[in-house]
Amino acid sequence: MKKTAICIAVLLMLAGLAGCGGGGKNNVAEIDFEVTTDGSYPVDTDKTLTYWVQLHESVAPNFQSLNETRFGEELIAQTGINVQFIHPPVTQVTEKFNLLIASRDYPDIIEWGWYGFTGGPHMAIEDKIILPLNSVIEKAAPNLRAYLEAHPAVTKDVSTDEGEVYSFPFVRENDYLNTYYGPMFRKDFLDRAGLDVPETVEEWEAALYAFRDMGVEIPLMTMLDNNRLKMSSPFLGAYGVMGDFYVENAKVKFGPYEEEPFSKFITLMTKWYKDGVLDPNFVDTDNNRATALGLSGKWGAAFSSAGGGFGAYIPAITKSNPAAQFVPAKYPVLNKGDRPKFGQKNFNANPGGGCAAITTQCDDIELAARLLDFAYTDAGYLLYNFGKAGESYDMIDGVPTYKEIITNQAVNGGKPISQMIAKYARASYFGPMIQSENYMKQYAALDAQKQGITLWSDTKQTEYALPYVTLTAAENNEYSGIMADVNTYRQEQVYKFITGTEPLDKLPEYFSTLKSMGLERAIEINQAAYERYLNR
């Protein structure tokens, strides 16, 4: 694999992207390559591109490579571009990625969460690993360019502070796709207790204690690890803070460091654990255990995902217990009628996963851009989300609709919908594409799932969530060291407080320890990065 020469001349950021990227910068290098095709498909070429990408868990049970899937075959057929996919072992993805980067011997395309690259995506460009794509998109990716010009907020999120677009991004089509996780109740249990669907923390407590007294084994199934607190702030959000960094009145804050609200949250969880309404094994975050508990039907209320969680739990429970009924709830609040401040809700762009970058050793930049740009065409949108017409979907009343080979386990040999979609398309996991709303409406087809997505999305989460800021290399080194210690310590302490192995009167010591670990410096670093983000 040869390195492609990069023109060092400093040029204006291409006009279209500069206009929609928050002003643009004047130091984005232009990539020197020849344009030889007209942008139509299939492309007339006999070349092969190499493409490094994780084999997702929805694909791995049935295929050893994307080349074996109907999606891979159709991508090659419809684009005219031969692709050789390269996959690391599923248990060694990060290790193999790091070895690949260290080798300085790159394939043409690497799909990764480039936003989280050590030192940030600008460092990946500075280190001559991947190309800045502004001029590449301008010359050879007209479909992505048109999309970015029409969606300036997305452009801002997939650019560096220097104004460089660094990958072909994974983007959710609209707000409906941004929420997929939240609380669900057993409605038959609520009915037996004579209770409405809870809204406030007080009402939640009444329902959970009623479930306990009725003999429900696990009144509340939820996890309270760092990742769940960051993602959805369960119950913590009711006290007005997020389980991670967020922004309020233009100031960056860290929810687990906000003393009064975090202490109230910990006190509540400690009480519920002691009184037997919180899953006694909540500290065990093993996915297999969580799935087994979810499928068992031993819970009265649970936090989980609409598709992979409740999409599996509800059919399994109702099969063994036809009387079981389910109803979603909004994220809990303190005062009746309040709109939840925090919950699970993403931004449309997701630079943290499924983003494809063209490497500096790509021998044919134009061809790589044409391949990746196909996903943003009308035909590519259908392939990436639904597969091949007549084979995996039919167009019904203008809506691409999955066939029974996807949705009906009696027809497809008992395979879950996520695996069947992954045979034909990429909508059930990340990729450089625009994910379709209609995919999710068919994937989460149960009424409780659809109602849940609507209810869970009704929060102020995106008004306060820290956007996709990037750190400089120096900031990243300092920040990573601080947060590695902070995250380990706070996770341990949250578990100790809730389970009673650490008394609540030690909470002041918890906050002072976070301060001594440098948390306030980490907040300062995020504040600086946030202010740079605003100036993109």
Q: Where are the domains of the chain?
A: 6-175+350-388, 180-344+448-534
Tokens of 472: 């400089």
pTM: 0.87
Prior bond to 42 cis, omega within 30?
A: yes
Residues of the chain with pLDDT under 70: 1-27
Secondary-structure class of domain 6-175+350-388 per CATH = alpha beta
pLDDT of residue 379: 98
d(CA 324, CA 22): 51
d(CA 267, CA 31): 57
Q: Give the DSSP letter of residue 278.
A: B
Residue type, 155: T
d(CA 406, CA 421): 6
pLDDT of residue 28: 77
Same fold, 6-175+350-388 and 180-344+448-534: yes
Give a three-class secondary structure readout of 10-60: EECCCHHHHHHCCCCCCCEEEECCCCCCCCCCCCCCCCEEEEECCCCCCCC
Give a three-class secondary structure readout of 316-384: HHHHHCCCCCEEECCCCECCCCCCCCCCCCCCCECCCCCEEEEECCCCCHHHHHHHHHHHHCHHHHHHH
Q: Which is it for the CA torsion 112, 113, 117, 122, positive or negative?
A: positive
How much is the CA Rg of the chain, to the nearest whole Å? 24
CATH ID of 180-344+448-534, from 3.40.190.10, 3.40.50.300, 1.10.600.10, 3.40.1030.10: 3.40.190.10
> C-alpha 453: how far from its chain's center?
15
Tokens of 377: 């065409």
DSSP string, 132-168: --HHHHHHH-HHHHHHHHH-HHHHHHTB-TTS-B-SB
pLDDT of residue 287: 86
Q: Are strands 218-221 and 299-305 parallel, antiparallel or unpaired?
A: parallel
Neighbours of 466 (CB within 10 A): 18
Beta bridge partners of 326: 186
d(CA 405, CA 424): 11
Helical pair 287-296 and 310-320, crossing angle rounded to 10 deg: 40
Contact (CB, 8 A) for 386 and 402: yes
